[in-house]
Every structure is written in C-alpha cells, then in structure tokens.
C-alpha cells in the first residue's frame, strides 16, 4: 500500500465514484436483499411492522398446586389442578402437557441422544458421574390424571410430553380443568447436575433445595408452531403459556421458603419479629433489611424439625413457578422504586454465601430491576428473588438461582465476586427475557439469552465503571467469529443444534445488538426501538421476525442486511484498507505547475553513472564550446512563456465562479480502496491523521457495499495532507484482522507478543505485590 | 475429607456458563523463527479438570506450584508433532483476561521451521475433554501466509495438516 501523488484534471476527478456491478449466477445474491424469503408472511396475528396483529391471541393456563417435600428420601409429592383456556379460533381435541423431569428418567431420549465416548485417560470421577447419571431413577411418576370429578382421562406419554385426549372438543372461549397426582425423586445437583435439585451439606446433614420443573406444565399452542411439543432434550429451555398460580408448599417447619409470587400466609410461617422486619424492609429503599438472620438460620440448621409447615404463594400472569427451601436460609429484603411503584428485592442464602451475599445480592437485584425497566418496560411483578445455589445460574419468574460462594475462610477472589454479580444481573434480567417478553426458548435460545446478555452488559457497566464484562464489546467476539466455520452455526439455529452454545446464543447476539446501538442505529433510535419491541411483546409470545421487524419499523433503519449477515450466516467482519491514492488538482497555472513538474523531474531517481559524471566530467563540449550550442541545447521545458500565460488566462475565463473556487481551494483528494474479506458488510469507519497531527473521523454507512460487497473505492476531499489512515479505530465492528486496517501498513502485535515484551521488561502486577509483601515481611 | 467433597464442582447443564471452548492460536513469527502459542480457556474448567480449586489460580494467594501444575496439564493434553516427531514447547507465562473469567497461557517453540524443511503438523488436543461434557477446542494455526482452522472434540482428538508453502 503506497501513496502515489497523482496529478489529474479537475473534470476527470468527479467521474471517479464508479461502482462495479457484479453479475453472479443470474440470481439476486446481494447482501442487501430483503428478507422476504426468510421471514414468515405477515398476517392478522403478527403484522409486517412487528407488532401483534388485530387477531393476536394466546392461551392461558391457571394452576393450583400442592406439593410436599420429603427431606429424608428427597422425594417431592404433588397434586395439581390445571385450568386451560382456549382463546384460539381453533378447536382442540387434545392438550399437550410437558413432563420435564422425564429428561432424567432412565434411558430417556435426553440421555440416549447425548453422545459420549470412553478414552484411556478418563478419570475415576468422570466414570462415577456416568454411573450416577445412568442409575438415577428420575422422571415423573404419575398416579392419577383425571377430570375435576375424578373421572380418569385418556393420556399417552411420549418421553417428556404427555397428550391428554379431551372428552369433548374444546372450542374458542371454553376452558377445561384436569388434575394430576404425581411424585418424583429429586436429583442431587452436585452429583448429576441439573437446573434444579438439591445440594447436600454433608457435615451438617442439611440441604438447599432449588426446585423447578416440579409439576406437569402446559405446552404453548399458537399459530406459529401449533402445539410447541418439541421434546425436552436438556438444552432448548422452556416454552410456556401465562396464567395465575396458587401454590402450597409443605416443608419441614424450620425451613424458609422462597418462591415465585407473593406469600399469602406469612403469619402462619414466620415469627412476629420476622414479619416486623419484613414490614420495615418494605419501606427501606437504601439498604437491605435482614428478615431471617444468620443466627436464626444457625438455630434452624441444628433443629432438624420433623413437623411440617405449609407456605402458600400466589402469582398472577406468570409463565412458570420456581421455589427454594432450606433451613440454612438467611433472608434479606429491600424496596425498589420502579416508576413510583414499590417492588421488593429479596435474597436467600446460607451462611456459606457470606460475606459476599449479604453485601451484594439484594443490591444487585434492585439495580438490575431499575436498569432493565429503563430499557424495556417497568417491572410489573411484586418482587424479584435471588437464591444462592452453588455453581449454577438459572431463572424462573420472580426467582432465580445463582452461584458465587466464598472460600470456607470467608475470603473470595475477584473472579468469584464479579462472576456472582454478573450471574445475578443475568438471571434477574431473565424476568424480562423470557419471563415477561415470552419468546419460544425451546426453538430460539438467542431470543432470551442474547437479548438478556446485551442488557446484562449495559447493567454491569452501570453497576461499576469498566466492570469486567465477558460479553458485549465487539472485540470480545472476534476470536469466536474468525474460528473454524465448521464449529460455528448461525444465530438462527434451533437451540438443540447450536454449536458453541455460549458464543452463539449469548455472546454473538449480545454483540450484534451492541453494534446496532453504538454504530449502526445510534443509541437514540436503538433504545426507542428496543423499548418498543419490549412494550409490544410484554406478556405475549414474540418470534424472531417480530423482533427484526419492530427494530426497523420504529427506527426507519433498513436492517435486513444486518439480520441476514449477523443472524443467518457464519460470516465474519474483515474489511481491508488495500490502497490509498493521493491526488491534487492541476491548477492549469503554468507558473505553479511548471515549478512542480521541475521539482518532480529533479527529484526523480537517477542512474548512478549520471550522478558520478556530474563531478568527474568537469566540462562537456556544449559547456566549453559556444559554437556547439543551438535552440535545443538551451531549451528549458519548465520555463513559462507568454503564450503559456495567455492560454491560462483563456482557460480561467471559461471557468465559472464555482469552478474557480474549487481550483483555488488547493484540496487533497484521497482515493481509498477497500476489500471485504470476511463477508459481513459493515460501516466503514475511518480516522485520518494529518501531517499537522490533527485527526478527523469519517463514518460511512454499510450501504457503501450495496452494489458491490467485495470491493469499493471512495474519494475523500480533505484540506490537509494525510499522514496515516486507520479503519475501525474504535474497535466497534468486530473486525477480526487489524493488520489490514491501516495505511501506511502496520502490524498489530499479538497478545502473545505484547505479553512477552512486558514480561521481559518488568514483573507482572501480581509478582510485584508478592515481592512487596516479601519485602515488608523481612 | 469434608473439603474434598465440598469442592467437587460439576460442569453440567447450566444456563449461564454452559459453554466449554478453548481457543488456541499458533502464530508463526518468521522474524524469530518461533511458533508462538496462546491458549485461552475458562479458569473454572481447568480447576475442574485438575480437581483442584486450592491453587487459587489468578488470585493474589495463588499457590507457587500452580504454574508447574498448569504446565504439566497442558504438556499432557496438547501434543504437537512436526513431521511425526514430537516437538517440545517452552513455558512463557500466563495472564488473566480482563473479564477475570478466562486465562491466557503462553508457550513457545524455537527453531520451528527447521530451515524450511517442515512439511506437516499433527496436533493431539484433549484439553478438558475427559472432564467436560461437550468440550470443544478450537485451534488456529497462522503459518507464513496461510491459516489453518481446526476443531477438536471428544470424537476428534488428533488432526494432521500439510503445510502449504
């Protein structure tokens, strides 16, 4: 890449913006082709603007559930009454009910379809876990499926799905109630894993139960999937209708229970003191108030009560229900003001979670509710709860289970602290995506994880300046996107088939949204559109098309190219600045141009013999013999004569005022050549640094690639001479190769090289602290 | 006894940290004739594989022995052969990522190119494969003007590439 100063004529210059036109196999393969073929046709249920249509409907399922925890045997026994409302225009002959616990049944499809292999390096523990998983007697054991009058209903179980055949067809506006009596063995989370289960503390004989998917749940029926009865294989999470819940949970009387919804029988399960503290917390917007203290929890831990208590909770308009129970729980609470409405932030944790949990958990819940409410909709549920659960992060409406356990000596690493704050923000954030903006998780992981991870990043950055976020900034996704394409799948891939789950469904969509917000749309247009999507689809079931369309509809930014590239392909961003040509206008003035030409002639590289002859030949014949001189010997082609001057005045007379102005301006014209190596079309962001060290940033929208997505040229008219140019100077496009982003070319050192250079120069900060400690000990 | 039980962490179905990928870059530095190896992975995944959280990797209280243990782990789980002969690589250092979740470790092979005679590479990569469900290990080799992308999983732990010259 070299700069060539070219002299050109004024009138040629403006013909330069000529795009190439590529004809490829006679089809429209443009990266800017609209998504008509990919997106479903708009209809009365979902409009072309991305909003619910005038005949949008959704089903409703209400639950009354009674469960009892058998702590000795780790069995949960339950019975439930489900009332299902058919709001669809369709007649239903059967209902599908989800039996998620069956994923842990012996020989379930979830287990059979998990590929595994043995190798000679397998650890004893790895083998033991295989045994534990295969031997666990999991899954729902159904005792009875009947109508409210105890008449048995016909049903069939297909793995994690149960079809109940209705005695008579269910028409629009009708409802149907049925009862299920069941039990299941609760899994030891620490041995065989799982989103729910228990953690057993061997030294004291107590457990923390984090319980979910604990009751047969209705599947979603809508105009997109019919019944969403895709089997639960472990990865693709849950798709559930909204409804009202009343849940009674019977546990040992010294347990404290946290759950979705509101406790409606506090007086029968809490002490007067605890209720008093709770009332105090409801007015405390600054600090958490402890309702069940560590001392009380320690007393409970030792009691091992054999008597039982029943905690009853109610929740309105939720899509699921989760709860946690333990005699180890400390409970604190704080009030949060969401647009004038008071919402409670709760945390439940064992003493093992302290000191981290009492300091941060509830504060982080409160902060998350505020930030998410700002960018989506006001949090409408009465409370949000964070429960301490070792090594997982999992979300349910109003309640989530989060990791973050200090060492047994009460110290903790920076990683544990920020990991815990991050996971609480993330899981509380799931209240918005997908608990309220209720996308189909079984089908699309990115719709909740990606959108949530995007807001998690914003919430983390508002929690602490330069919070060590894992996902969000474009340069964090580069490693993934430039990797082996056979190990990457497009974002628009079903949850079960995703390769590299975390990068695909969390990192890449979160980054894509960040890029839309910061670079493509700008914060104002993005934030309004994102909020519009949230408002339109709160307490409804959105699809990807509804999201894509709303973001365009509310912003007037055509984003089809962006969805196509970032969501439907595996392409990455690698734009290369190939060449920079520098032009100045030929003024036509012989005085000026002849001097320039003369200088150029003199500065030309010359053959060495000619330079040497200059001194070695003292005089040539034409120099000492006047008689050998004629016109040609003396002629100076760079000398201006009167005719040249006359021609120039004529030329000037023919120019109009505007043209003269351009001629006088003495601008620099830079023609830049770009090529698109990665495939993704993206805006071209350039920083010009001039010889006087000042800089100018020019941002060109991605549409520069609209006619040729492989190569483009662009001319920039600048006052000053440029000394260097950088492409994507603020690292906002996820360009995977920065070595082709500069003129003059420069090689960015690799992380390895930077590390090694610093290592050689000095010690790392950790070594320095250790050395300082050693010195002070001496 | 109590401790060894309580520190058993299992990387199973998680909604949050449910992805287990390591990234290895082998970048050939032709000026020095060195192969520069960078491996990025989650600290937690290493702790699980070593069955050891006592090392306090990446904290101020990190055990002095940790570097040796990490080095040995990788020497056992990442083998590089040049024209069928095993190539030794040397420890350069380690560095915690800004996000605190990941760690970068660096190794180096000197006199890599063997006077332009090197024709093929074999990589055996079993990093975390025995302990982590669905582990994938992504390797990018940048050698002279060519890039080679490889993905290793429990079903594919050994791959060979012919170097293009």
The tens digit of pLDDT for each residue in A306-362 reads 999 999 999 999 999 999 999 999 999 999 999 999 999 999 999 999 999 999 999
A394-A397-A399 Cα angle (round to 5): 60
Determine contact: A603 vs chain B, CB below 8 A.
Answer: no
Residue A535 has pLDDT above 60, yes or no: yes
More confident residue, A594 or A545: A545
pLDDT band at A766 (very low <50, low <70, confident <90, very high): low
Q: A387 burial class (0-12, 13-18, 19+ CB within 10 angstroms)?
A: buried
**B contacts of A394 (beta carbons < 8 Å):** 14-16
**B contacts of A461 (beta carbons < 8 Å):** none
**B contacts of A506 (beta carbons < 8 Å):** 19
Residue A640 has pLDDT above 80, yes or no: yes
Edge-to-edge strand list for the sheet holding A206-211:
A197-201, A206-211, A323-326, A256-259
- Which residue in chain A has the smallest CA separation from B21? A500
Residue A381 has pLDDT above 90, yes or no: yes
Determine contact: A441 vs chain B, CB below 8 A.
Answer: no
Q: Could you give phi then psi for residue A275, rounded to 5 degrees?
A: -65, -40
For A685, other C-beta atoms within 10 Å of its C-beta total: 21
Residue A21 has pLDDT above 50, yes or no: no
Q: Do A468 and B100 touch (CB under 8 A)?
A: yes
Domain housing A83: 57-112+136-264
Which residue from A395, A418, A751 is facing B104, i.e. has the nearest CB?
A: A751
User: Angle, nearest 10°, between helix axes A642-654 and A590-603?
Assistant: 120
Which residue from B51, B59, B157 is facing A125, i.e. has the nearest CB?
A: B51
Residue A767 has pLDDT above 70, yes or no: no
In a domain, A765, yes or no: no
For residue A114, the model assigns a pLDDT of 64
Alpha carbons A206 and A201: distance in angstroms, whole number? 5
b/e per residue A141-171 (b: at least 16 CB within 10 A): ebeebeeeeeeebebeeebbbbbbebeeebe
Q: To the nearest 10°, report the CA torsion of A595, A596, A600, A602.
A: 20
Looking at A538, A557, A576, the residue that finishes a domain is A557
Which residue from B13, B92, B138 is facing A194, i.e. has the nearest CB?
A: B13
* Best mean pLDDT range from A554-563, A651-660, A750-759: A554-563
More confident residue, A477 or B133: A477
In a domain, A681, yes or no: no
Q: Which residues pair with A689 in a beta bridge?
A: A695, A724
Which residue from A123, A190, A770 is facing B10, i.e. has the nearest CB?
A: A190
Q: How far is CA B49 from the centre of its chain?
A: 13
Strand ranges inside chain B, DSSP E: 21-29, 34-42, 78-82, 85-86, 90-96, 102-109, 120-125, 136-143, 146-152, 158-162
A446 & A426 share domain: no
Q: Do B36 and A502 touch (CB under 8 A)?
A: no
The share of chain A scoring above pLDDT 90, in percent, equals 73
Which residues are CB-contacts of A158 (< 8 A; sequence separation ≥ 6)?
A231
**A contacts of B154 (beta carbons < 8 Å):** 115-117, 119
Alpha carbons A767 and B11: distance in angstroms, whole number? 31
Q: Do B15 and A418 touch (CB under 8 A)?
A: no
A458 & A346 share domain: no
User: Angle, nearest 10°, between helix axes A544-553 and A445-463?
Assistant: 50
* Best mean pLDDT range from A132-141, A605-614, A697-706: A697-706
**Token pair of A553 as six digits:** 């509809």
A177 & A39 share domain: no
**Token pair of A63 as six digits:** 């639950």
Determine contact: A395 vs chain B, CB below 8 A.
Answer: yes
A161 & A280 share domain: no
Alpha carbons A671 and A687: distance in angstroms, whole number? 14
pLDDT band at A500 (very low <50, low <70, confident <90, very high): confident
In a domain, A239, yes or no: yes
pLDDT band at A765 (very low <50, low <70, confident <90, very high): low
**How do strand B85-86 and strand B78-82 relate by DSSP bridges?**
antiparallel
Q: Do B16 and A393 touch (CB under 8 A)?
A: yes
- Which residue in chain A has the smallest CA separation from B131? A126
A65 & A143 share domain: yes
Q: Do A756 and B93 touch (CB under 8 A)?
A: yes
pLDDT digits 0-9 by tens, A182-204:
999 999 998 888 899 999 999 99
- Which residue in chain B has the smallest CA separation from A450? B16
Residue A6 has pLDDT above 60, yes or no: no
Domain boundaries along the sequence of chain B = 1-9+30-118+154-165
For B115, other C-beta atoms within 10 Å of its C-beta total: 7
For residue A121, the model assigns a pLDDT of 54
For A631, other C-beta atoms within 10 Å of its C-beta total: 6
For A224, other C-beta atoms within 10 Å of its C-beta total: 17
Number of domains in chain A: 3
Residue A693 has pLDDT above 60, yes or no: yes
> Which residue matches tokens 């026994």?
A77
What CATH number should be reported for the domain holding residue A538? 1.10.390
A155 & A87 share domain: yes
Looking at A264, A291, A314, the residue that finishes a domain is A264
Name the residue among A180, A92, A188, A184 with its Cα closest to residue A131.
A188
For residue B41, the model assigns a pLDDT of 94
Length of chain B: 165
Contacting A residues, span 352-391, partner chain B, CB-CB under 8 Å: 390-391
Determine contact: A483 vs chain B, CB below 8 A.
Answer: yes
**A contacts of B11 (beta carbons < 8 Å):** 391
Which residue from A119, A408, A468 is facing B98, i.e. has the nearest CB?
A: A468
More confident residue, B151 or A179: A179
pLDDT band at B15 (very low <50, low <70, confident <90, very high): very low
**B contacts of A753 (beta carbons < 8 Å):** 29, 36
**A contacts of B106 (beta carbons < 8 Å):** 752, 755-756
In a domain, A685, yes or no: no
For residue A749, the model assigns a pLDDT of 86
Alpha carbons A218 and A293: distance in angstroms, whole number? 38
For residue A498, the model assigns a pLDDT of 86
Which range (A118-122, A132-136, A650-654, A748-752) has the least confidence?
A118-122
For residue B18, the model assigns a pLDDT of 56
Which residue from A121, A408, A483 is facing B149, i.e. has the nearest CB?
A: A483
pLDDT band at A66 (very low <50, low <70, confident <90, very high): very high
Alpha carbons A599 and A18: distance in angstroms, whole number? 33
Which residue from A470, A483, A486 is facing B101, i.e. has the nearest CB?
A: A470
A453 & A367 share domain: no
More confident residue, A434 or B51: A434
Chains A–B, number of C-beta pairs less than 8 Å apart? 160
**B contacts of A485 (beta carbons < 8 Å):** 149
Over the Cα atoms of chain B, what is R_g? Answer: 17
- Which residue in chain A has the smallest CA separation from B1? A203
What does DSSP assign to residue A17? -
For residue B117, the model assigns a pLDDT of 86
The share of chain A scoring above pLDDT 70, in percent, equals 93
Determine contact: A752 vs chain B, CB below 8 A.
Answer: yes
**Token pair of A399 as six digits:** 């309640």
For residue A125, the model assigns a pLDDT of 64
More confident residue, A661 or A266: A266
Instruction: Please give, rounded to a whole number of angstroms, the shortest distance from the CA of B60 to a CA of chain A.
Output: 6
Alpha carbons A106 and A132: distance in angstroms, whole number? 11
For residue A124, the model assigns a pLDDT of 65
A90 & A218 share domain: yes
In a domain, A752, yes or no: no
Say if residues A397 and A432 touch (Cβ distance below 8 Å): no
Mutate to test the interface with B, among A410, A441, A471, A755 (most CBs of B within 10 A): A755
A175 & A301 share domain: no
Rounded to the nearest integer, the mean pLDDT of chain A is 91
pLDDT band at A1 (very low <50, low <70, confident <90, very high): very low
Which range (A332-346, A368-382, A440-454, A738-752) has the least confidence?
A738-752
Q: Do B19 and A500 touch (CB under 8 A)?
A: yes
Which residues are CB-contacts of A466 (< 8 A; sequence separation ≥ 6)?
none
Report the half-sphere exposure of A289 (CA within 13 A, side-chain side).
19
Say if residues A277 and A327 touch (Cβ distance below 8 Å): no
Q: Could you give phi then psi for residue A420, rounded to 5 degrees?
A: -65, -45
Instruction: Please give, rounded to a whole number of angstroms, the shortest distance from the CA of A351 to a CA of chain B.
Output: 15
Which residue from B10, B17, B99 is facing A193, i.e. has the nearest CB?
A: B10
Contacting A residues, span 202-231, partner chain B, CB-CB under 8 Å: 202-203
A79 & A146 share domain: yes
Name the residue among A55, A58, A51 with its Cα closest to residue A529.
A51
Alpha carbons A572 and A474: distance in angstroms, whole number? 12
Q: Do B100 and A419 touch (CB under 8 A)?
A: yes
A483 & A553 share domain: yes
CA torsion sign for A210, A215, A216, A220 is negative
**B contacts of A203 (beta carbons < 8 Å):** 2
Which residue from B29, B38, B101 is facing A751, i.e. has the nearest CB?
A: B38
Instruction: Please give, rounded to a whole number of angstroms, the shortest distance from the CA of A471 to a CA of chain B.
Output: 9
Region A278-296: mean pLDDT is: 97
Report the half-sphere exposure of B26 (CA within 13 A, side-chain side).
25
For residue A122, the model assigns a pLDDT of 57
A396 & A490 share domain: no
Mutate to test the interface with A, among B7, B11, B13, B89 (most CBs of A within 10 A): B13
Say if residues A52 and A540 touch (Cβ distance below 8 Å): yes
Looking at A434, A449, A472, the residue that finishes a domain is A434
Q: Do A393 and B100 touch (CB under 8 A)?
A: no
Which residues are CB-contacts of A197 (< 8 A; sequence separation ≥ 6)?
A186, A187, A188, A189, A209, A210
In a domain, A130, yes or no: no
Name the residue among A553, A548, A531 with its Cα closest to residue A444.
A548
For residue B48, the model assigns a pLDDT of 84
What CATH number should be reported for the domain holding residue A162? 2.60.40
**B contacts of A116 (beta carbons < 8 Å):** 133, 154
Residue A711 has pLDDT above 60, yes or no: yes
Q: Specify the pTM.
A: 0.88
In a domain, A576, yes or no: no
Q: Do A393 and B17 touch (CB under 8 A)?
A: yes
Region A88-100: mean pLDDT is: 98
**Token pair of A453 as six digits:** 């991870």
Q: Do A756 and B106 touch (CB under 8 A)?
A: yes
Which residue from B12, B37, B149 is facing A193, i.e. has the nearest CB?
A: B12
**How do strand B158-162 and strand B78-82 relate by DSSP bridges?**
unpaired
In a domain, A571, yes or no: no
For residue A126, the model assigns a pLDDT of 64
Which range (A139-153, A754-768, B120-134) has the least confidence?
A754-768
Which residue from B13, B126, B131 is facing A126, i.e. has the nearest CB?
A: B131
Which range (A102-111, A537-546, B94-103, B134-143) has the least confidence?
A102-111
pLDDT band at A580 (very low <50, low <70, confident <90, very high): very high
Q: Do B56 and A413 touch (CB under 8 A)?
A: yes
């Amino acid at each position: 890449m070299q700069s060539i100063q070219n002299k050109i004529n004024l009138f040629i210059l403006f013909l330069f913006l000529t795009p190439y036109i590529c004809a490829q196999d006679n089809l429209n393969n443009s990266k800017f082709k609209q998504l008509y073929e990919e997106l479903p046709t708009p209809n009365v249920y979902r409009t072309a603007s991305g909003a619910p249509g005038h005949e949008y409907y959704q089903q409703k399922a209400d639950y009354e559930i009674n469960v009892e925890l058998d702590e000795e045997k780790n069995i949960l026994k339950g019975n439930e009454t489900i009332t299902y409302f058919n709001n669809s225009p369709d007649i239903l002959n059967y209902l599908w009910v989800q039996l998620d616990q069956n994923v842990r049944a012996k020989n379930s499809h979830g287990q059979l379809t998990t590929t595994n292999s043995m190798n000679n390096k397998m650890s004893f523990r790895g083998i033991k876990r295989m045994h534990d998983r295969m031997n666990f007697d999991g899954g729902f054991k159904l005792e009875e499926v009947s109508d409210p009058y105890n008449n048995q209903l016909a049903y069939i179980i297909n793995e994690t799905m149960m079809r109940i055949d209705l005695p008579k067809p269910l028409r629009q506006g009708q409802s149907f109630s049925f009862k299920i009596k069941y039990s299941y063995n609760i899994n030891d989370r620490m041995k065989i894993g799982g989103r729910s289960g228990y953690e057993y503390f061997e030294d004291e004989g107590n457990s923390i139960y984090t319980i979910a998917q604990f009751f047969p749940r209705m599947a979603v029926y809508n105009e997109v999937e019919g019944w969403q009865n895709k089997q639960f294989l472990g990865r693709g999470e849950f798709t559930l209708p909204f409804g009202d819940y009343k849940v009674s949970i019977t546990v040992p009387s010294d347990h404290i229970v946290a759950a979705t919804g509101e406790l409606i029988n506090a007086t029968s399960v809490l002490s007067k003191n605890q209720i008093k503290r709770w009332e105090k917390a409801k007015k405390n917007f600054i600090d958490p108030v402890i309702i069940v203290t560590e001392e009380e929890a320690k007393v409970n831990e030792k009691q091992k009560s054999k008597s039982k208590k029943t905690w009853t909770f109610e929740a309105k308009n939720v899509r699921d229900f989760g709860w946690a129970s333990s005699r180890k729980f400390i409970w604190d609470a704080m009030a949060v003001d969401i647009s004038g409405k008071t919402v409670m932030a709760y945390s439940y944790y064992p003493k093992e979670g302290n000191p981290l949990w009492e300091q941060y958990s509830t504060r982080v819940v409160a902060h998350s509710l505020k930030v998410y409410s700002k960018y989506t909709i006001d949090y409408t549920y009465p409370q949000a709860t964070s429960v301490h659960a070792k090594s997982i992060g999992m979300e349910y409406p109003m309640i989530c289970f989060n990791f973050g356990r200090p060492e047994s000596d009460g110290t903790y690493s920076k990683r544990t602290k920020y990991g815990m704050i991050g996971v609480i923000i993330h899981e509380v954030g799931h209240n918005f995506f997908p608990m309220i903006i209720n996308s189909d998780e079984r089908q699309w992981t990115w719709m909740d994880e990606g959108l949530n991870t995007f807001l998690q990043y914003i919430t983390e950055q508002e929690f602490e300046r330069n919070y060590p976020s894992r996902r969000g900034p474009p340069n964090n996704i580069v490693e993934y996107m430039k990797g082996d394409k056979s190990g990457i799948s497009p974002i628009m891939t079903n949850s079960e088939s995703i390769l590299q789950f975390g990068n695909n469904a969390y990192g890449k969509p979160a980054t894509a949204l960040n890029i839309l917000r910061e670079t493509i749309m700008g914060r104002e247009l993005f934030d309004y559109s994102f909020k519009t999507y949230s408002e339109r689809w709160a307490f409804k079931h959105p699809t990807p098309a509804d999201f894509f369309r709303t973001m365009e509809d509310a912003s007037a930014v055509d984003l089809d190219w962006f969805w196509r590239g970032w969501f439907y392909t595996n392409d990455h961003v690698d734009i290369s600045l190939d060449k920079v040509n520098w032009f100045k206008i030929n003024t036509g003035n012989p005085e000026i141009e002849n001097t320039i030409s003369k200088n150029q002639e003199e500065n030309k590289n010359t053959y060495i013999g000619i330079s040497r002859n200059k001194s070695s030949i003292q005089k040539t014949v034409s120099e000492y013999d006047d008689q050998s001189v004629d016109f040609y010997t003396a002629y100076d082609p760079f000398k201006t004569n009167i005719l040249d001057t006359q021609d120039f005045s004529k030329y000037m007379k023919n120019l109009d005022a505007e043209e003269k102005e351009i001629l006088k301006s003495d601008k620099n014209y830079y023609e830049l050549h770009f090529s698109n190596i990665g495939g993704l079309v993206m805006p071209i962001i350039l920083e010009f640094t001039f010889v006087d060290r000042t800089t100018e940033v020019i941002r060109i929208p991605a549409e520069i690639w609209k006619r040729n997505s492989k190569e483009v040229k662009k001319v920039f008219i600048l006052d000053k001479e440029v000394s260097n140019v950088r492409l994507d100077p603020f690292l906002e496009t996820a360009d995977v190769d920065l070595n082709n982003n500069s003129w003059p070319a420069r090689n960015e050192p690799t992380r390895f090289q930077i590390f090694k250079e610093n290592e050689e120069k000095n010690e790392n900060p950790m070594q320095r602290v250790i050395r300082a400690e050693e010195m002070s000990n001496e | 006894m109590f401790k060894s039980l309580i520190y058993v962490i299992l990387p199973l179905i998680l909604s949050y940290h449910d992805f287990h990928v390591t990234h290895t870059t082998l970048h050939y530095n032709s000026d020095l004739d060195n192969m520069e190896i960078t491996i990025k992975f989650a600290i937690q995944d290493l702790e699980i594989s070593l069955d050891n959280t006592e090392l306090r990797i990446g904290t101020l209280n990190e055990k002095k022995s940790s570097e040796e243990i990490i080095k040995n782990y990788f020497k056992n789980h990442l083998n590089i052969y040049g024209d069928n002969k095993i190539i030794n690589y040397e420890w350069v250092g380690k560095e915690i990522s800004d996000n605190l979740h990941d760690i970068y470790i660096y190794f180096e092979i000197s006199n890599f190119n063997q006077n332009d005679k090197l024709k093929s590479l074999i990589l055996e990569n079993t990093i975390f494969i025995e302990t982590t469900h669905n582990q994938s290990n992504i390797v990018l080799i940048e050698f002279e003007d060519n890039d080679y992308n490889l993905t290793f999983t429990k079903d594919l732990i050994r791959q060979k590439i012919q170097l293009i010259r």
